[in-house]
């Protein structure tokens, strides 16, 4: 009995199924290399190298919040394009000549801004470039004895009220 070869069958590399089956693991390998490249090239900035020092600084931050509450501090912060206007009020009649505003981006420390506001009688102004996105707002005096904090979503919100939190006993 002789076996007849089927000459009409095309070679394997001209069939669709082998290529489909090879494409699935090949796609996974390519996606793995892309993920590896993204992990190496992008710094997410979420892990702090000095986490221990930041933990120790937390206690000092709480003391500053209590000082702001003792002074009865409150602030109205307004953003109008590149202009910043701040109105600061307190139970203490003496407003500092200079306050410092830090705008901290939640995930990108390279975008953080530090702005010095100079004013008179509790009214302060400064200029900055236009900002976009969600920001943590930190307002403090020159000696860093007190601080006020809050969040703002720019440009959707143009005003934020910062008030001292009452200490929890």
- Preceding peptide of 155 cis, ω within 30°: yes
Residue 122 pLDDT > 80, yes or no? Answer: yes
Q: Residue 52 domain-assigned? A: no
3-state secondary structure at position 46: coil
pLDDT of residue 92: 73
How does DSSP assign 121-139, residue by residue?
Answer: TTEEEEE-----EEEEEEE
Residue 120 pLDDT > 70, yes or no? Answer: yes
Helix or strand (DSSP H, E) at 74: strand 74-80
Helix or strand (DSSP H, E) at 86: strand 83-89
Instruction: Count the domains in the chain.
Output: 1
pLDDT of residue 165: 72
Per residue in 38-53, pLDDT (tens digit) is 988 887 666 667 777 7
Q: Model's pTM, two decimal places?
A: 0.66
Q: Residue 168 domain-assigned? A: no
Domain that holds residue 120: 73-163
pLDDT of residue 125: 92
How many angstroms separate the CA atoms of 102 and 150, rounded? 11
Q: Residue 48 domain-assigned? A: no
Give the CATH number of the domain where residue 153 resides.
2.60.40
Q: Residue 1 domain-assigned? A: no
């Amino acid at each position: 009995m002789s076996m007849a070869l089927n000459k009409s069958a095309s070679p394997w590399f001209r069939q669709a199924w082998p290529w489909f089956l090879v494409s699935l693991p090949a796609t996974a390998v390519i996606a793995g290399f892309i993920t590896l490249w993204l992990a190496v090239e992008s710094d997410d900035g979420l892990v702090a190298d000095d986490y221990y020092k930041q933990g120790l600084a937390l206690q000092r931050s709480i003391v500053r919040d209590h000082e702001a509450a003792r002074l009865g501090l409150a602030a109205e912060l307004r953003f109008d394009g590149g202009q910043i206007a701040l109105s600061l009020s307190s139970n203490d009649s003496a407003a500092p000549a200079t306050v410092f505003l830090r705008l901290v981006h939640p995930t990108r420390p390279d975008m953080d801004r530090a702005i010095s506001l100079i004013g008179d009688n509790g009214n302060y102004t400064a200029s900055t470039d236009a900002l976009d996105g969600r920001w943590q707002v930190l307002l403090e005096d020159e000696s860093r004895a007190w601080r006020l904090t809050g969040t703002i979503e720019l440009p959707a919100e143009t005003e934020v009220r910062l008030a001292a939190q009452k200490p929890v006993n």
